Amino acid sequence: MKARVTVMLKSGVLDVQGEAVRHALGTLGFGGVNGVRQGKLIELDLAETDPDAAELAVKGMCDKLLANAVIESYRIELV
């Protein structure tokens, strides 16, 4: 089973990389971009076959390593 985890900075946390991308797009002639939020996508190939157990395991991975709960939120998608 595969899982996709999308990790993003929480709303209200300054996204310095996103702001740099927004500025670079403007200098390249792509006007009208008012904001950019940058995150990370993590794909996991799991041995687990039970969807509930897989989601629980991935949640544990996120809480312990993949996301910083203080400033980031995450979304898990089993595929």
**78 by DSSP, 3-state: which?**
strand
Q: How far is CA 5 from CA 13, 28, 31, 71, 72, in A?
A: 19, 31, 30, 16, 12
* pLDDT for residue 76: 98
Q: Looking at the domain 2-78, which fold is it?
A: Mth169; Chain: A , (3.30.1280)
Please give the chain's pLDDT, 79 residues, in tens. Answer: 999 999 999 999 999 999 999 999 999 999 999 999 999 999 999 999 999 999 999 999 999 999 999 999 999 999 9
Ranges of each domain in the chain? 2-78
